[in-house]
């Protein structure tokens, strides 16, 4: 499965990644570092959502990655 995820809403950076999505088995115990990261970001209630170990997760094996810093205070046509 080819995945081009992009994230810009409320962020100062946008990243575009083209590559292959590789599904991981979160119930295997091999990805506890990722689980700990999710708990740190989303809080202790993250496990109550019922995703970890039950829903599909994937990482992107990137062939290309692009990033841009977004300055929301710059007007169209302004020169740097």
Q: Which of 58, 52, 30 is nearest to 39 (CA)?
A: 52
Residue 79 lies in a domain: no
Residue 76 lies in a domain: no
Residue 56 lies in a domain: yes
Which secondary-structure segment (H or E) carries 3? Answer: strand 2-3
The 10s digit of each residue's pLDDT in 19-41 is 999 999 999 999 999 999 999 99
Residue 75 lies in a domain: no
Of residues 13 and 5, the one with the higher pLDDT is: 13
Residue 78 lies in a domain: no
Residue 77 lies in a domain: no
Domains of the chain: total = 1
Query: pTM for this structure?
Result: 0.58
User: Which range marks the domain in which residue 51 is found?
Assistant: 2-69
The backbone region for 65, taken as left when phi is positive above 0, alpha when psi lies in -120 to 50, beta otherwise, is beta
Of residues 1 and 19, the one with the higher pLDDT is: 19
Query: Confidence band (pLDDT; 50, 70, 90) for 80?
Result: low
CA–CA distance, 23 with 17 (Å, rounded to integer): 16
Residue 24 lies in a domain: yes
pLDDT at 13: 78
% of the chain with per-residue pLDDT over 70: 75
């Amino acid at each position: 499965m080819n995945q081009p995820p992009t994230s810009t809403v409320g962020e100062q950076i946008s990243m575009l990644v083209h590559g292959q999505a590789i599904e991981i088995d979160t119930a295997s115990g091999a990805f506890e570092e990722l689980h700990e990261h999710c708990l740190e970001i989303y809080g202790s209630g993250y496990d109550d959502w019922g995703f970890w170990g039950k829903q599909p997760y994937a990482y992107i094996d990137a062939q290309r990655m692009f990033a841009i810093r977004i300055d929301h205070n710059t007007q169209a046509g302004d020169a740097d």
